[in-house]
Structure 1
Amino acid sequence: MSKAEKLGFSVSRLARIDRLLQERYVGPGKLPCAQFVLARGGEVVHQTLLGQQDPERGVQIADDTVYRIYSMTKPITSVALMQLVEEGLVALDDPVAKHIPEWKDLAVFSAGTGPYLTTPCARPMQVVDLLRHTSGLTYGFQNRTNIDAAYRKLKLEAMHGGHDLETMIQLMAKVPLEFSPGEAWNYSVSTDVCGYLVQKIAGKPLDRVLQERIFDPLKMVDTGFHVRDDQRARFAACYDAVPGGGMKLQDDPQKSPYLEPPALLSGGGGLVGTAADYLRFANMLLNRGELDGARILAPKTVDLMASNHLPGGADLTQVSRSLFSESTNAGVGFGLGFAVVFDPPQTLIPCSLGEFYWGGAASTAFWVDPIEDVTAVFMTQLLPSSSYPIRRELRTLVYSALMETNG
Structure 2
Amino acid sequence: MSDPETAAKKAGMCPERLSRIVPFFQTYVDNKKLAGVSTLVWRKGELAHFGVQGQMDVARGRAMAQDTIFRIYSMSKPITSVAVMMLYEEGRFQLEHEIGRYIPELGDLKVYAGGPARGMVTKAASRQVTIRDLLTHMAGFTYGFMEVHPVDEAYRHFQIGGVDLTTADLEEFCKRLGRMPLLHNPGEAWSYSVSTDVLGRLVEVVSGLSLIEFFRTRIFAPLGMTDTDFQVSAEQMPRFAANYQRNPKTRSFDLFDDPETGRYAKPPVFMSGGGGLVSTQADYLKFCQMMLRGGTAPDGTRLLSRPTIALMTQNHLPDGRDLEGFAQGAFSETTNAGIGFGLGFAVTVDEAKAQITGPNGTYYWGGAASTIFWIDPVEEMIAILMTQLMPSGAYPLRRQFQQLVYAAIDD
TM-score where L is the length of structure 1: 0.97
**Which of 329, 348, 357 is residue 336 of structure 2 equivalent to?**
329
Gaps of 5+ in 2: none
2:57 is matched with which residue?
A: 54
| 1:148 has 2:152 as partner | yes
Structure 2 match to 1:346: 353
Please list the CA deviations of residues 302-359 of structure 1 after superposition, one character each: whole Å capped at 9, or x if unmatched. Answer: 0000000112211111111133257532111001011001111111111011000000
Match of 1:71 in 2: 74
Q: Is the Cα–Cα contact under 8 Å of residues 159 and 165 in structure 2 kept in the other structure?
A: no
Q: Separation in 1 of the partners of 2:234 and 2:279? A: 14
Shift of 1:97: 1.2
Could you give the per-residue CA deviations for residues 126-179 of structure 1, whole angstroms, max 9, x where no partner exists? 100000100000000000111000111111125452111111100111110000
AA matched with 1:339? A
The alignment partner of 1:89 has SS state of coil
* Per-residue Cα deviation, 1:192-237 (whole angstroms, up to 9, x for no partner): 0000000111011100001011000000010000001210110100
Alpha-carbon distance between aligned partners in 2 of 1:351 and 1:164, rounded to the nearest angstrom: 39
Name the CA distance, whole Å, in 2 between partners of 1:178 and 1:160: 21
Query: Normalization by structure 2: what TM-score?
Result: 0.96
Conservation of the 8 A alpha-carbon contact between 2:113 and 2:123: yes
Q: CA deviation at 1:377?
A: 1.1
Code of the aligned partner of 2:272 = S
Match of 1:260 among 262, 266, 272: 266
Aligned to 2:227: 222
Aligned to 1:93: 96
Partners of 1:229 and 1:299 lie apart in 2 by 38
**Which string of whole-angstrom CA distances, capped at 9 and with x for unpartnered residues, describes residues 19-38 of structure 1?**
11001x11111111100110
1:285 aligned partner: 291
Q: In structure 2, what is the equivalent of residue 174 of structure 1?
A: 179
User: 1:269 is matched with which residue: 262, 275, 281?
Assistant: 275
Q: 1:137 aligns with which of 117, 141, 151?
A: 141
- Residue 275 of structure 1 aligns with an amino acid whose one-letter code is Q
Aligned pair 1:387/2:394, yes or no?
A: yes
1:119 aligns with 2:119: no
- Structure 2 equivalent of residue 36 of structure 1: 39
* Cα distance between partner residues in 1 of 2:335 and 2:214: 35
Q: What is the CA–CA distance in structure 2 between the aligned matches of 1:133 and 1:286, rounded to whole Å?
A: 23
| TM-superposition CA deviations, 1:90-142 (whole Å, max 9, x none) | 11110111112222221110123345311222222110000010000000000
- Equivalent residues of 2:81, 2:135 under 8 A apart: yes
Q: Verify the 8 A CA contact 1:354 1:369 in the aligned structure 2.
A: yes
* Contact 1:94–1:126 under 8 Å retained in 2: yes
Encode CA deviations 1:228-258: one digit per residue, 9 max, x unaligned: 1210110100001011420000111121111
Tell me the C-alpha RMSD between the 2 structures: 1.2
Contact 2:8-2:15 at 8 Å conserved across structures: yes
Deviation for aligned residue 1:6 = 2.1
* CA distance in 1: counterparts of 2:114 and 2:207, whole angstroms: 38
Percent of pairs identical after alignment?
46
1:249 has 2:255 as partner: yes
In structure 2, do the counterparts of structure 1 residues 160 and 229 end up closer, same or farther at CA, with 3 Å as the change threshold?
A: farther
The amino acid across from 1:168 in the alignment is: F
Alpha-carbon distance in 1 for matches of 2:335, 2:280: 27
Question: Alpha carbons of 1:327 and 1:82: their partners in 2 closer, same or farther (altered >3 Å)?
Answer: closer
The SS at the match of 2:311 is: helix
Q: CA separation in 2, counterparts of 1:103 and 1:73?
A: 22
Amino acid at match of 1:351: G
The answer for the alignment partner of 1:14 in structure 2 is 18
Aligned partner letter, 1:85: Y
Give the match's secondary structure for 1:290.
coil
Q: Say whether the 8 Å CA contact 2:312–2:342 is kept in structure 1.
A: yes
* Large movers: runs of 4+ above 4 Å: none
2:200 corresponds to 1:192: no
Contact preservation (8 Å) 1:42, 1:375: no
State the Cα distance separating 1:262 from its structure 2 match: 1.0
Deviates more, 1:29-38 or 1:290-299: 290-299
